[in-house]
């Protein structure tokens, strides 16, 4: 049986992790479902995903994907948070993909990279996220939230113990709001 190979670029290859993403383990099947759903909504032909090795800092499969990119329309990453480990290497990979005039998407965030400006913006987003994560994990924040500082946040403590909490949310209709107002007015 003779199969002719098409020289036309076809389809999008997914890219997923087998290791934690931002300290969260996301099963490969979930990552693939997100990418598959994204591709379906965009009417893209999805050609399964390359799965990165589990070792921390490994981007061997991403490097191999760059070599394959000429035969694809583009790459769909599960999330830009996959790039946190080695931002400069991943930036170079994104530049190579864009230089080949291929599309790059991040399915979870529904974000597209079209040019170098988009890459710079993505790197800013990553840096802001990394900075905010390091602040949350920092000793300074833990000290601010430490229970030994109860005197410092006296009003907050009183409100948390004796405050009134009103139901709210987008599912609340006008009748619910009127009911809450009537109950409050009775007091």
Q: Is 19 exposed, middle or buried (0-12, 13-18, 19+ CB in 10 A)?
A: middle
CA atoms within 13 A on the CB side of 10: 6
Residue 1 lies in a domain: no
Strands 74-77 and 103-106: parallel
Backbone region of residue 23 per phi and psi (left: phi > 0; alpha: psi in -120 to 50; beta: other values) = left
- The structural domain count of the chain equals 1
pLDDT of residue 51: 86
Q: What is the pLDDT of residues 95-109, one digit of tens each?
A: 999 999 999 999 999
Higher-confidence residue of 110 and 148: namely 110
pLDDT of residue 60: 85
> How high does pLDDT run on average in the chain?
80
Residue 153 lies in a domain: no
**Average pLDDT of the segment spanning 57-62:** 84
Residues in the chain: 187
Residue 41 lies in a domain: yes
Residue 176 lies in a domain: no
Q: Domain span at residue 91?
A: 12-136
Residue 61 lies in a domain: yes
Which domain CATH number covers 46?
3.40.50.1390
Neighbours of 168 (CB within 10 A): 10
Residue 162 lies in a domain: no
Residue 120 lies in a domain: yes
pLDDT of residue 88: 82
pLDDT bracket for residue 35 (50, 70, 90): very high
Residue 34 lies in a domain: yes
Q: Which of 140, 59, 136, 70 is nearest to 92 (CA)?
A: 59
């Amino acid at each position: 049986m003779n199969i002719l190979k098409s020289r036309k670029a076809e389809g999008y290859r997914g890219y997923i992790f087998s290791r934690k993403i931002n300290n969260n383990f996301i099963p490969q099947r979930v990552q693939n479902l997100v990418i598959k759903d994204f591709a379906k909504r965009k009417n893209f032909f999805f050609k399964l995903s390359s799965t990165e090795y589990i070792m921390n800092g490994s981007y061997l499969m991403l490097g191999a994907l760059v070599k394959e990119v000429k035969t694809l329309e583009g790459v769909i990453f599960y999330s830009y948070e996959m790039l946190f480990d080695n931002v400069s290497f991943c930036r170079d990979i994104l530049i190579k993909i864009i230089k080949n005039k291929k599309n790059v998407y991040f399915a979870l965030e529904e974000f597209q990279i079209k040019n170098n400006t988009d890459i710079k913006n993505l790197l800013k987003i990553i840096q802001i996220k990394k900075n905010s994560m390091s602040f949350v994990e920092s000793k300074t924040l833990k000290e601010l939230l430490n229970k030994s500082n109860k005197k410092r946040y006296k009003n907050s403590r009183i409100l948390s113990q004796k405050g009134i909490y009103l139901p709210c949310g987008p599912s609340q209709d006008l009748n619910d709001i009127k009911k809450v107002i009537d109950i409050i007015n009775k007091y």
